[in-house]
Amino acid sequence: MEVDPLSILFTLIRISAVILLIIFFMSLWSLFGTETKTNDLERFNVELFENIATSQLTFGKYVFDPDKLDDVTFRDENFPSFVRDCKYKYKFEIEDLKTGDTWTFGERAATEMSILNVYKNTRVYYAGIVRKNAEKNAPFYEDANTAKVTVTVSDTLTGRLSCAIEKAYKSKNTETVHVKECIDTADCIVFKRNVLDEKFACFYKNTAQNDYHWLDCKILPTEIKFIDIIETVNNLKNRGVDVDKPLLLTAYPLKPGVTADCDMLKNNPKDFEPGQNENTGTVQVCVTGLTAK
């Protein structure tokens, strides 16, 4: 049987064209997803600035009161609750450009492990800042200094998981989070309340024999109850989970006083969910392979 070289060449060209087309659409989808996420962060960044610039920290719209800013301490655990978000973490830095005074508050993004940081958006705004004159009943805005306001918003794995737990608790429905790899090489996922301040839920790393050091935390209201997540690599492997591939974290709301293992929850989650007239008792998070059903 004679083989036509031109026919083979055209076939190879067609196959190459199809492959290139698939790669193009995959790249386009990836860019679209990233752009959508960036737009979400930018939108939230602007909304956050509008909230803070018209809040009780100001005399009026876009004019900050330094005395009220002084009342907001610089520590992560003390920040205005009226700008809290379930998922995103944020940081404000307000600088009086005339005096050099600065005020910093909010939830900082993770700095120790890049895996915990997913996306970040930083924007700079300008507003006024004026100190009350004791001899006057109201501030004169024409005497205001210029304030530079830097707002950084972060979409972190810590925020995603704590928000999934909060949503599962409140909605009584399961919520999921994707994790691209284990946080720690021995204890794959360790996520629990901070023993020093229970307002925070944190990812931890085992730095020594059961000596856990927190890596990154997110405010999670103390009324949101969840069972500590301590999943070791060996335990996951014994359950058939490929720890070298992405993982799926599923938050299951449970009835008060109910406990269940992850296999039971995975097969019959509705049996353990609180009823319409029941409150959620706690949330249990199960770690499986991303393709697990």
In whole angstroms, give the CA distance from residue 68 to residue 58.
Answer: 8
| pLDDT-derived band at 239, boundaries 50, 70, 90 | confident
Q: What is the mean pLDDT of the chain?
A: 81
pLDDT greater than 70 at residue 226: yes
In whole angstroms, give the CA distance from residue 287 to residue 16.
Answer: 39
Residue 32: what pLDDT? 40
Provide the percentage of residues in the chain whose pLDDT is more than 90: 34
Residue 267: what pLDDT? 87
pLDDT greater than 80 at residue 248: yes
Residue 193: what pLDDT? 93
Reported as a single tens digit per residue, the pLDDT across 47-68 is 989 988 988 888 888 899 898 8
Residue 143: what pLDDT? 73
Reported as a single tens digit per residue, the pLDDT across 255-277 is 999 888 888 898 888 899 998 88
pTM of the predicted model as reported, rounded to 2 decimal places: 0.76
pLDDT greater than 70 at residue 136: no
User: Measured over all CA atoms, what is the biggest interatomic distance in the chain, rounded to whole angstroms?
Assistant: 105
Reported as a single tens digit per residue, the pLDDT across 92-117 is 899 999 999 999 888 776 665 667 87
Reported as half-sphere exposure (CB side, CA atoms, 13 A), residue 91 has a value of 15
